[in-house]
Amino acid sequence: MADSNRLLSRRDFLKNTAAGAIGATAMLTTCQATAKATDVAAQVPQRPFGSTGIDVPILSFGGSLNTSLSMLVLNQAVKWGVTYWDTANSYMGGRSEKGMGKYLEKFPADRQRIFLVTKTHAWDTEGMSRDLNLSLERLQTDYIDLYFMHSVSSGSELTDDKKAWAEKKKADGKIRLFGFSTHSNMEECMLTASRLGWIDGIMMSYNYRLMHTDEMQQATDACARAGIGLTAMKSQGGGQVRTDTQSELELAGRYMKKGFTDAQARLKAVWESPHIASICTEMPNMTLLMSNVAAALDKTTLSARDLNLLQQYACETRSSYCSGCTAICESAIDGDVPIGDVMRYLMYARSYGDHHRARAQFQKIPLHIRRKMKGTDYKPAEQGCPQKMAIGQLMRQALEELG
């Protein structure tokens, strides 16, 4: 980990920012003063992004929100070294990119410091060029540091025409690096990428539930050997730790004693992996930014017992978390119903409390598929599901809650 010599303890961080005493609301009103106080002291540490020669902060700003409303947060993020910004052509109908563009127009000197990532949903190179040009315009920049194909779900999507496109855009100076994000069948996508030689970076779902499986460990090892930079997303692995069982109670109590929340502990668990360059997480307000920066600056590591308990908790609650292995369940029921996507939308609603996004995404599923969802027999999918999820019941609940 580079730059560790500038780390502050969490207590020092809170003391310097006066957050413990004045609270998050007051913090917003004293942003300028706070920023000044922490300019020199607090910088999120960095790690190398694969073998690209670029170091990135271990915490990145997830921009799946209307960033036009987050100018203060973006400004403070830069001051604390959260200079890896992630957005997408599709986020908030373009308002995420436009907001970041507005920021860069106002603070042009910050462009050099920011590792800017955006994504395209286009599946042909013509559409990718169109999306890239639009993103450059919205973001008010001449180049993108890392350009992603959005939501790749099979290694077969990494075709030679995409490789040629990426090489051309790099030569033209429009992008520096190329890669993809993935929520489904991540391990297969990552293994394929590790053999190709032209993928620079991948952002995948990765958290305390997924990181210890043999498949994910093989995939991250292979990417690390291939020099691919890895960014973790969905790092919370679902909702808050509950306190229904003895192990859950013990887990919550241990974190409290150590002075961090379970959300911060989950970030720490992911940073335990040396293969992860950065965690991308949404930080729509100063409170979350502060909490995550504090976790990144804090030198306390999770003990072996903490990590074991977290794994035990993951086992006990596995039927509440979809691990994205859609090749198993979707093919068992003829492949039309996007089970993995629906599970993710339910997670947005139930774990993140983001009902608006959950409904908006769900409504994009074609009507005839939504109708088909109702009458489908999900038993074959449930039999193959490694997480033992009640798929049929959850699909019906999604239709009721999000339809």
d(CA 154, CA 198): 16
Quick check: 338 binds ligand SF4 (CB under 6 A)?
A: no
Q: Binding string to ligand SF4 for residues 269 to 308, with x set by CB under 6 A, is what?
A: ----------------------------------------
Quick check: 376 binds ligand SF4 (CB under 6 A)?
A: no
Residue 256 class from Cβ within 10 Å (0-12 exposed, 13-18 middle, 19+ buried)?
A: exposed
CB 283 within 8 A of CB 63: no
Q: What are phi and psi of 281, to 5 degrees?
A: -145, 145
User: For the chain, first and last CA: distance in Å?
Assistant: 45
Q: How far is CA 128 from CA 147, 202, 252, in A?
A: 10, 17, 45
Quick check: 373 binds ligand SF4 (CB under 6 A)?
A: no
Quick check: 339 binds ligand SF4 (CB under 6 A)?
A: yes
Shortest Å distance, C-beta 213 to ligand SF4: 11
Quick check: 329 binds ligand SF4 (CB under 6 A)?
A: yes
Among 104, 324, 348, 354, binds ligand SF4 (CB under 6 A): 324
- DSSP H or E run through 386: none
Ramachandran region of residue 209, left (φ > 0), alpha (ψ -120 to 50) or beta?
alpha
Query: How far is residue 365 CA from its own chain's centroid?
Result: 22
Of 210 and 265, which has the nearer Cβ to ligand SF4? 210
Shortest Å distance, C-beta 208 to ligand SF4: 16
Of 301 and 383, which has the nearer Cβ to ligand SF4? 383
Shortest Å distance, C-beta 303 to ligand SF4: 29
Shortest Å distance, C-beta 378 to ligand SF4: 9
d(CA 205, CA 200): 17
Quick check: 387 binds ligand SF4 (CB under 6 A)?
A: yes
Quick check: 56 binds ligand SF4 (CB under 6 A)?
A: no
Quick check: 343 binds ligand SF4 (CB under 6 A)?
A: yes
Among 182, 286, 340, 348, binds ligand SF4 (CB under 6 A): 340
Q: Which residues contact 253 (CB under 8 A, 6 or more apart)?
A: none
Query: Where does this chain bind ligand SF4 (CB under 6 A)?
Result: 322-326, 328-329, 339-340, 343, 385, 387, 389, 391
